Amino acid sequence: MDLVSVLLIAVGLSMDAFAVAIGRGAVLPRAERARGALAMALAFGIFQALMPVAGWLLGSAFAEFIGGIDHWIAFLLLAGIGGRMIYEAAAGHEDTDRPALTLRVLLLLAVATSIDALAVGIGLRLADPATPILAAGLLIGVVTFGLSLAGGLLGSRLGERFGRAMEVVGGVVLIGIGLRILVTHLAG
């Protein structure tokens, strides 16, 4: 697979992580915004880089298993986190009460946004076994890192400006991404 194709795949895979970073960045406590944006970018970038390689290594044997449930896993993780964000906005948490970006939440978001990358790795193995998967994974990770960092910083700016309304919007965005993933897989 050529570089342009891998770059387009990287951008496509990064869009969910970018949107999640915006939504989650908007609700980070003020003191954690820069560190939180960087943490999301690192986690999302690392997972997006590793998942295609894992999919490549697992090949077609894993495709049948994960292909049947990947959309449900992503939907449940994103809907759960989004629902919690909406609940916390409705509960009226002040900036000092906002939940930190815990390692658990960070890992759940990273997994939820990178499941498609696992499927891409499987697809690349089946479609073009000559693809240099380590280089492709690295490119996907770097693109995801950059877009997620930008999304986290943009989200924190929006959170500063619009406050609690952005918590609700962020939660709705996460649920919407989960629904899109679910509907796309069920309709296809």
pTM reported for the whole predicted model? 0.77
Query: What's the pLDDT at 111?
Result: 92
Distance (Å, whole) CA 112 – CA 185 = 15
Query: What's the pLDDT at 64?
Result: 64
Burial of 2 (0-12, 13-18, 19+ CB in 10 A): exposed
Query: What's the pLDDT at 101?
Result: 81
Query: What's the pLDDT at 77?
Result: 74
Query: What's the pLDDT at 29?
Result: 80
Query: What's the pLDDT at 125?
Result: 81
Query: What's the pLDDT at 99?
Result: 57
DSSP string, 72-141: HHHHHHHHHHHHHHHHHHHTT--GGGSPP--HHHHHHHHHHHHHHHHHHHHHHHHH-TTS-HHHHHHHHH
Residues in the chain predicted with pLDDT less than 50, given as ranges, are 95-96
Supply 52's token pair: 């295609």
- Residue 84: which of 108, 54, 50 has the closest Cα? 108
Query: What's the pLDDT at 107?
Result: 93
Residues 122 and 65 sit within 8 Å (Cβ to Cβ): no
Query: What's the pLDDT at 183?
Result: 87
List the helix and strand counts (H, then E) for the chain: 6, 0
Domain boundaries, the chain: 3-187
Supply 188's token pair: 């296809």
Query: What's the pLDDT at 100?
Result: 66
